[in-house]
Amino acid sequence: MRRLFRDYAYATSFSDTMVEHARALVEPLIGQRALGPASQVIEIASNDGYLLQFYQQRGIPVLGIEPAANIAELAVKTKGIPTLVEFFDERLARRLAAEGRLADVIHAHNVFAHVPDPNSFVAGIRHVLKPGGVAVIEAPYVRELIAKLEFDTIYHEHFSYYSLSAVEALCRRHGLMICDLELLPIHGGSLRLFVAHAGQHASGRVVDLLAEEKSAGLLAFDHYRDFGERVTGLKQQLIALLRRLKAEGLRIAA
Beta strands in the chain (DSSP E): 41-44, 62-65, 83-84, 103-109, 129-140, 176-184, 190-197
Q: How many residues does the chain have?
A: 254
pLDDT, tens digit, 9 for 90 and up, residues 149-160: 999 888 878 889
* Chain segment 7-61, per-residue pLDDT in tens: 555 667 767 888 999 999 999 999 999 999 999 999 999 999 999 999 999 999 9
User: Do 129 and 198 belong to one domain?
Assistant: yes
Q: Are 30 and 6 in contact (CB under 8 A)?
A: no
Residues 54 and 180 occupy one common structural domain: yes
**Kind and range of the H or E run holding 237:** helix 227-247
3-state secondary structure (DSSP) of residue 220: coil
Mean pLDDT of 202-207: 97
Mark whether 58 and 75 lie in a shared domain: yes
Q: What are phi and psi of 155, to 5 degrees?
A: -155, 175
Q: Do 98 and 11 sit in the same domain of this protein?
A: yes
Other CB atoms within 10 Å distance of the CB of residue 62: 26
Contact 161, 140 (CB under 8 A): yes
State the Cα–Cα distance between residues 1 and 13, nearest whole angstrom.
23
Q: Answer yes or no: do 252 and 166 share one domain.
A: no
Greater pLDDT, 38 or 254:
38
Average pLDDT of the residues in 223-233:
93
Number of domains making up the chain: 2
Residues 252 and 214 in one domain: no
pLDDT at 54: 97
pLDDT at 5 over 60: no
Contact 135, 174 (CB under 8 A): no
Q: What is the pLDDT of residues 67-114, one digit of tens each?
A: 999 999 999 999 999 999 999 999 999 999 999 999 999 999 999 999
241 shares a domain with 188: no
C-beta of residue 120 within 8 angstroms of C-beta of residue 89: yes
- Going by their DSSP bridges, the two strands 190-197 and 129-140 should be labelled as antiparallel
Quick check: 1 pLDDT over 80? no
Q: How far is CA 203 from CA 25, 29, 36, 208, 218, in A?
A: 19, 17, 26, 9, 21
CB atoms within 10 A of CB 64: 27
159-182: pLDDT as tens digits: 899 999 999 999 999 999 999 999
Please say whether the beta carbons of 33 and 134 come within 8 A. yes
User: What domain range includes position 169?
Assistant: 2-223
- Band (pLDDT 50/70/90 cuts) for residue 4 is low
Q: What is the pLDDT, as a whole number, of residue 235?
A: 95
Is residue 181 helix, strand or coil?
A: strand
Q: What is the pLDDT of residue 3?
A: 55
Q: How confident is the model at residue 188 (pLDDT cuts 50, 70, 90)?
A: confident
> Rounded to an integer, what distance in angstroms lies between the CA atom of residue 62 and that of residue 59?
9
Q: Which of 93, 174, 191, 86 is nearest to 138 (CA)?
A: 191
Report the C-alpha gap between 198 and 126 in whole angstroms: 10
Would you place residue 210 in the very low, low, confident or very high pLDDT band (cuts 50, 70, 90)? very high
pLDDT value at residue 15 = 78
Closest CA to 64 of 12, 10, 117, 108: 108
Residue 238 has pLDDT above 70, yes or no: yes
Question: What is the distance of C-alpha 204 from the center of its chain?
Answer: 22
Label the pairing between strands 41-44 and 103-109: parallel
What's the CATH number where 43 sits?
3.40.50.150
Burial of 59 (0-12, 13-18, 19+ CB in 10 A): exposed
Domain check: are 241 and 154 in the same one?
no
**Domain match, 35 and 130 both:** yes
